[in-house]
Amino acid sequence: MEAEELLVLVARGDQKAFEDLYGLVSGPVFGLVRRVVRDPAQSEEVAQEVLLELWRSAAKFDPERGSALSWVLTLAHRRAVDRVRSARAAGEREQREALRAGEPAFDQVAETVEAGLEREWVRRCLDRLTALQRQSVTLAYYDGYTYREVAERLKLPLGTVKTRMRDGLTRLRDCLGGAA
Amino acid sequence: MSLVGRLLHREDLHSLAAPYALDALEPGERRRFEKHLRDCDRCADEVRALTEDAVRLAWSTAAPPPLAMRDRVLAAVRATPQESAPIPEHTPQLPPHVWGAQPPPARVRARRPLFVPFATATATAALVVASLFAVQAGRTQDQLDAERAQSREIAHVLAASDVRTTSYEDAQGRSIGAVTSVSEGQAVVTLSGYGTPSNGRVHQLWLMRPRVQPRSLGLFKADTPLVATGLGRSATSLAVTVEPAGGSAQPTSQPIVQLALKSVGFGE
């Protein structure tokens, strides 16, 4: 069954449908949250929170506004970004990173294990963007920085960053279109 | 604001579509942009397209979650109430021609039995007096906020490495369930099918330990699960009694239901 149909059933309290939905979306949700949050324990916590929120809020899904999977992943991304920003604000992250210095980065370990086709395609398409487009998009999406923070890090005017983000996403669309 | 000023302001907001799709706005900006989105069809289309692009970036990160996460999430789902659709009160009131031949999915009717009283009460209150509606909507938002805060607490219990579940259902289908963690000393407790006691009385949850007075773990509010903390390893069971409004310092009546905690690792 498609995620759209499952969400309708889940909104009616169907636990079996939720199990199927879990099978469909838990990998993408967990992977995305982990990419943004990085800390394994926190990633797990946020991913669980997101999956539970799908159960609670399934009735809010509106097919008019986009596909079910993009609704799910948009929710997951937002929660991950919220978490990483509050952790950053608390300075916890720097502390943890300092503690971990010496261990291999979590990402490297994970990426050697799963090198999917989609991952390859996205990487290839990201490589086709200009450096500024790519950095603007990935600093925001994968690292959870606001566009103001991105502008600061890249030492670019705000307007330029907004344009790079838009151009970057549109070029990605053109490139990935063939891989869908 | 002049027309040019308005257009510039609009253009400025419009340029936030890509940062919005990437979740790269600060909370204030995000709200301002979402407000703008509601009356800007062009932006809504664009945001939809850009969001789908951003989601492609998400797909490439997919990774299998730890196996234990599945059990935890499914256990949590059994203990967690659902929110209703946004303003579901309106939907049944629309004339049939709006829906065409097919009625919309009956979300309210299909809720789990546990939540029928709340959904019905909300709908009724909303329909009685129009002016009450705003108050009702506000309360609902508070309720949703509270529920979200609570779902974070539940998620916290679930994140414990030793999370377990137990439940008991009587012959009439009334049940009590708990998602527990011995290491955290916490339990998320759900009561289902017992209704609301009459005369403002309440359902109070107690921690039972050998040779010690029962300790109050809190009052159940409507159908929401209760997050009980500070459970020591010696906890043997949870008990629910009906108490006067505000609860009691010690139980004043026999438990209506009791749940043993031995199977989930307590009771040492």
Q: Could you report the per-residue pLDDT of A8-31, keeping only the tens digit for each?
A: 999 999 999 999 999 999 999 999
Give the whole-angstrom CA distance, residue A88 versus residue A83.
8
User: Which of A91-95, A111-115, A120-124, B98-102 tops mean pLDDT?
Assistant: A120-124
Q: For residue range A32-90, list pLDDT tens digits in order.
A: 999 999 999 999 999 999 999 999 999 999 888 788 999 999 999 999 999 999 888 87
CATH topology of domain A1-104: Rna Polymerase Sigma Factor; Chain: A (1.10.1740)
Q: Are B122 and B142 members of one domain?
A: yes
Most A-contacting residue of B53, B141, B148, B184 (CB-CB within 10 A), to test interface: B53
Domain boundary among B137, B157, B177: B157
- Is residue B196's pLDDT more than 60? yes
Measure the CA–CA gap between A177 and B229, rounded to whole angstroms. Answer: 51
The pLDDT of residue B86: 59
Quick one: what percent of chain A has pLDDT higher than 70?
83
Q: In the predicted model, is pLDDT for residue A107 greater than 50?
A: no
Cβ contacts of A22 on chain B, cutoff 8 Å:
70, 73-74
pLDDT mean across residues, chain A: 85
> Which H or E element spans position B11?
helix B3-14
Instruction: Could you please state the CATH topology (level 3) that the domain comprising A115-180 is classified under.
Output: Arc Repressor Mutant, subunit A (1.10.10)
* B50/B71 same-domain check: no
Do residues B259 and B168 share a domain?
Answer: yes
Tell me which of A106 and B160 has the higher pLDDT.
B160
Instruction: Out of A147-156, B154-163, B254-263, pick the least confident.
Output: B154-163
Task: Pick the residue of B20, B57, B84 with the most A CBs within 10 A to test the interface with A by mutation.
Answer: B57
Query: CB A49 to CB B151 under 8 A?
Result: yes
Quote ipTM for the complex.
Answer: 0.85
Distance CA A117, CA B170 (A): 51
Beta carbons of B60 and A73 less than 8 Å apart: no
Please state which of the ranges A113-127, B73-87, B180-194 shows the lowest mean pLDDT.
A113-127
Please say which residue of B101, B131, B157 terminates a domain: B157
Q: Which pLDDT does position B60 carry in this prediction?
A: 83
pLDDT digits (tens, 9 = 90+) for B137-188: 444 666 666 666 767 777 777 777 777 777 777 777 788 888 888 888 888 8
φ, ψ at A128 (rounded to 5°): -80, -10
Chain-chain contact of A172 with B56 (C-beta, under 8 angstroms): yes
Specify the pairing of strand B163-169 against strand B237-243: unpaired
What is the reported pLDDT for A144?
Answer: 95
Interface of B with A in 194-223 (CB under 8 A): none
* Residues B104 and B21 placed together within one structural domain of the fold: no
Q: pLDDT by residue (tens digit) across B19-44? A: 999 999 999 999 989 988 888 888 88
**Contact criterion met (CB < 8 Å) for A116 and B62:** yes
d(CA A144, CA A65) in angstroms, rounded, equals 24
Among all residues of chain B, which has the CA nearest to that of A79? B23
Q: Judge: B57–A122 Cβ closer than 8 Å, yes or no.
A: yes
For chain A, report the end-to-end CA distance as a whole number of angstroms: 19
Within 8 A of A147 by CB-CB distance, chain B residues are 19, 22, 24-25
Q: Choose the closest CB to A22 out of B70, B152, B158.
A: B70
Torsional class of A118: left (φ above 0), alpha (ψ -120 to 50), beta (otherwise): alpha
Q: What is the mean pLDDT of chain B?
A: 73
Nearest CA in chain A to B15: A162
Is the same domain home to B176 and B253? yes
Range 138-177 of B in CB contact (< 8 A) with A: 147-148, 151-152, 154-156, 158-159
Judged by DSSP in three states, A40 sits in: helix
Over residues B196-214, mean pLDDT: 86
Contact between B72 and A34 using a beta-carbon 8 Å cutoff: no
Q: Which of residues 4-23 of B touch A (CB under 8 A)?
A: 15-19, 21-23
pLDDT computed for residue B97 by the predictor: 38
Distance between the two ends of chain B, CA-based, in angstroms? 71
Per the structure, the complete domain to which residue B118 belongs is given by 67-157
Contact across the interface for A52 and B16, Cβ inside 8 Å = no
- CA distance linking residue B153 with residue B203, whole number of Å: 21
- How many contacts (CB atoms, under 8 Å) link A and B? 202
What total number of domains does chain B contain?
3
- Among A56, A109, A174, the strongest candidate for a mutation testing the B interface, having the largest count of B CBs within 10 A, is A56
CA of A83: how far to CAs of A38, B19, B159, in Å?
Answer: 11, 18, 15
With H, G, I as helix, E, B as strand and everything else as coil, classify residue B240. strand
- Give percent of chain B above pLDDT 90: 11
- Shared domain check, B80 and B18: no
- Residue ranges per domain, chain A? 1-104, 115-180
Q: Are residues B179 and B136 in the same domain?
A: no
* Strand runs labelled E in chain B: 163-169, 175-181, 186-192, 202-209, 212-219, 226-228, 237-243, 257-260
Name the pLDDT band for B106 (thresholds 50, 70, 90). very low
For residue B22, list chain A residues with Cβ-Cβ distance below 8 A.
Answer: 137, 140-141, 147, 165, 169
